[in-house]
Structure 1
Amino acid sequence: MKRALLAAALALWASVAVAQDVQPLAGATFSLNQARSVARAALHAGDFELARQIAMGLLKADPEDPFAYAVLAAAHSRLNDPKLARAAARLSYRYSDSGAEKFGAARTAASVAAAQDRPSQSQAWLRIAATHADTPQQDKLVAREYARARAANPLRFDINFSIAPSDNVNSGTDNVLEVINGVPTLGFFRGSSRALSGTVAVFDARLRYRLRSNQASRTDATARFYTRRVDLSGEAKAIAPDVSNSDFGSTYTELGLQHRFKLGAPGNAMGVGAALGASWVGGERSYDFAKANIRRDIRLTGRSRLSLTGVAERRLSTITSLLDASVVTLGANFGHKLTGGDRFNIGLTVQNVTGDNINADYQTASLQARYTFGKPVGPVQITTGLTVGYTDYNVYTLVRPVEGGRQDQSIYGDISLFFADYDVAGFAPTLQLRTGQRSSNVNRFEISETTITFGIQSKF
């Protein structure tokens, strides 16, 4: 009864313009700060109509009061008026002055969006909140809330963009004269086959939409769009005046379905999927493809995991059926997290490519190792990697068959730096240095390259 009388009194008070710092109520004196406290208490008590009325009274005193709009956003959200709730949330952020106020207003807007089952909008507001986070605790808070919004969202985008100056954008050779099995021939390499310097830009977008899920499994529709563009340097254009930037561009698109389900002991799972897509090289459509994949994840210990993968792909050339190919890829990856937080992965990938074109019939294997330091060095998180590869063409033909076929060996090392402390909206810069070389008994395919890649990566 007392609560009802107090609510009625507060509602009556709230309906009067709050033009002064202090207002009388039933013989008592209420400051604006006290009114804000009552509004906050009303929200916590679940009396959303009372909170709304008090917020409206506060706005009569100050039409640009960010706290009042935040109360209205929360109240209207619970009173099933989503349009007004979203408008109030935007105004709360707009009229906030300090970074701390904007941080709180953006989080409130994210909470309103989450309550209205708008996870994408909630994620956007949390990105905005991240721009106003001043402490590691606030960063962690935003990351946790973003993880919840992402888990609730059936739609997920992963976008990577990078720019990489390189001394070999076309995987060209450093050699001038052709040598096969150590024996020079009369051939020499055109400019387009030589190593050309320039800048490579890559845009890679992956989309996943959850069609169905429960505690034991989930099914997703997937899509990917990848494009690579090259800008040749002036030196490269002088070496190869007959080529253009578009000759070294490529694009790849894919649409598919993935199904993942728990299998075996806790932490173990199986995934199967299929996809259709197409590839363009040099501005022209190169081939269409269909592929199926399978993945098995096994939790060995609390810190160790093993992943086994298999992909079968059929490529149909858009140029000639002689370039059709079948590709089978098998992979295994072991990952382990050390006590101090460092992580290392080691993986083996083998691939068999078969087709009517002799020069596109080969087997390849590569061993990859990566080590990620758990603790940053200053402002930098460091990951190092090493890749060793071998490719064998049983039969290879240039002007005439190459005796013994063709064999390539490669070794590449890289170091990646992630500057997590220099983020904007949760996106931070990355820098990767990659260098290596490939040797071959056919020296057209002997290359060396060094690439510095500048990119952007999400912190959460």
Structure 2
Amino acid sequence: MRRFQVLAVVIALWGAGAAAQETTAVPLDQAGQIAAQALLAGEVELALQIAEAVLAQLPDDRDALIVVAAAAPRVGDPARGRSAGTQAWRVSETDAQKYEAARLTALAAANEERFTLSTFWLRRALTVAPNEEQRAQTIRDARSVTRRNPWSTRLSFSLVPSNNVNGGADSDDCTDAGIFNCSLSEDAVALAGWRASLGFSAQYRLQEAQDSRTFVGLQYQTTRVRITDDVDVPDEAFTTSNYTLSLRHDRALTNGTLGLNASRGRFEYRSLISSTNTTEAEEYDIWRLGIDRRIPINDRTLLSGSLGREWLEYSVSGIGEVDRRRASIGLTYALDSRDRLSGSIAVSDSVGETNKNYTSQDITISATYSWAEPIGPISLSLGGGLRWNEFPEYRIGFTPADKRNDRTMFVNANIGFPRVSYAGFTPSLRIDASQTESDVSRFDRTTLSAGFTISSQF
């Protein structure tokens, strides 16, 4: 067996203190363990020297790699620690060994302020966490790293079966308060199918102080539809994509927070040309400005409110520009059980500069109840509300302008599965149901959908 000389500094305290040094010959395959013992004894630099000496001859010695991963960041070389931790992960054989290597690699990356990489390694640690306690601790650490990270990225995916993927009418009968009779085209009637959505968002913290922070963000989402009804309507007729560039500033006040936001977006969609059964690309641009306020009334009650302005500009000349104002107020209350009950009222006023069909006044009242603790294997929140839409100058074709009123009742359930998790991602199910009654039968609709999504726990 090969041997080498290890300089082990043994310090013993006798009275006022005394130190003795001795040089000991040890087997090479045991030197990594000696380095680990030196690290545990607080001899960080010595442990690092021993471990590096071992790795010079045995590059895949796991004990030595773990020592370097733990010790190098403590002497100011986190990059070396991260490299050693990565290699230790590769040579680890058990889940417990991989968990240790991943945690140390994540810590080294955080010391480099490479927070996104640190989060990646914490996710790898979660895949091999030895028990629930370690898993919970890793999630807490990941949330702490996420808060420190100026970059925030999100990737989302949902697959939703629905009896009305296109927001179509309940029947093909088209009437305007009994004045106008017609039959709707196939694409205007409710169609069953599947809706798949893919979203990506990235946000960067431009500035952060004790009482303020500023973010810039980019969001993208695209939706594809698969129609299961036997109709002569192409799936691409309901394809949409949208892009948004946003800027937000939050400031802490003596009694809550104040937020300012601005955004510029583009929404792309398709219009169906019935004569050729083909689609044509359309789009509209949207600018938004907003202000929001959050005020804690007491330890349990939070009051929130917002004001906003939107300007929409459609590429279709027959629609033109729409000017919209929004306002909302909400209240959230925490019960003794830590369950939360929230309610809100939102109003909007839209003015169609070119097309008066886009002029409307809307009121929405909603409430949500969220359980703090899981109910069996699931987490649960239930919501619902009512919405009223009034179109004072609605017109169909060449019929005289008349008032159109829509009344919508909606309910939803968000069901989470906290016990089902992989790498910090957990699935959830959202169920939505709504029914709209309108003076214009084209807008009578009933919708039921169930969407499966995957979200991050941090």
Q: TM-score, length-normalised on structure 1?
A: 0.88
Question: Which segment is superposed worse, 446-455 or 278-287?
Answer: 278-287
Compared CA separation, residues 62 and 296, structure 1 to 2 (3 A): same
Residue 380 of structure 2 corresponds to 382
Q: CA deviation at 1:185?
A: 4.2
The counterpart of 2:442, out of the listed 422, 427, 444, is 444
The counterpart of 2:205, out of the listed 207, 210, 228, is 210
Q: How does 1:58-457 map to 2 (within 5 A)?
A: 59=55, 63-181=59-177, 183=178, 185-233=180-228, 235=229, 238-239=230-231, 241=232, 243-265=233-255, 268-282=256-270, 284-320=281-317, 322-355=319-352, 356-401=354-399, 404-457=402-455
Residue 3 of structure 2 corresponds to none
Residue 27 of structure 2 corresponds to 18
Deviations along 1:332-359, one digit per CA (max 9) or x if unpaired, are 1211221212112111111111122111
Query: Contact 2:288–2:311 (CA<8 Å) still a contact in 1?
Result: yes
Q: CA deviation at 1:232?
A: 1.2
Distance in 2, Cα, partners of 1:165 & 1:315: 30
Query: Contact 1:178–1:184 (CA<8 Å) still a contact in 2?
Result: no
Q: Secondary structure at the match of 1:351?
A: strand
Query: Contact 2:38–2:44 (CA<8 Å) still a contact in 1?
Result: no
Query: Contact 2:153–2:201 (CA<8 Å) still a contact in 1?
Result: yes
Gaps of 5+ in 2: 1-8, 13-17, 271-279
Compared CA separation, residues 180 and 251, structure 1 to 2 (3 A): same
Compared CA separation, residues 384 and 350, structure 1 to 2 (3 A): same
Q: Secondary structure at the match of 1:420?
A: coil
Question: Which segment is superposed worse, 389-398 or 426-435?
Answer: 426-435
Residue 28 of structure 1 corresponds to none
- In the TM superposition, structure 1's runs of 4+ consecutive aligned residues that sit over 6 Å from their partners are 4-8
Q: CA deviation at 1:400?
A: 3.6
Distance in 1, Cα, partners of 2:147 & 2:257: 18
Distance in 1, Cα, partners of 2:120 & 2:281: 37
Q: CA deviation at 1:97?
A: 2.0
**Matched residue type, 1:286:** E
- Cα RMSD of the aligned pairs, angstroms, is 2.4
Deviations along 1:371-426, one digit per CA (max 9) or x if unpaired, are 11112122111111112111000011003446641100111111121111111101
**Matched residue type, 1:326:** D
Query: Contact 1:163–1:453 (CA<8 Å) still a contact in 2?
Result: yes
Compared CA separation, residues 308 and 186, structure 1 to 2 (3 A): closer
Residue 29 of structure 1 corresponds to none
The structure with more helix, counted as a fraction of residues: 1
- Identical pairs, percent: 27
Distance in 2, Cα, partners of 1:229 & 1:277: 19
Deviations along 1:44-78, one digit per CA (max 9) or x if unpaired, are x3x43211122245557965443321211222223
Query: Contact 1:291–1:312 (CA<8 Å) still a contact in 2?
Result: yes
Q: TM-score, length-normalised on structure 2?
A: 0.89
Distance in 2, Cα, partners of 1:328 & 1:381: 35
Distance in 2, Cα, partners of 1:398 & 1:144: 57
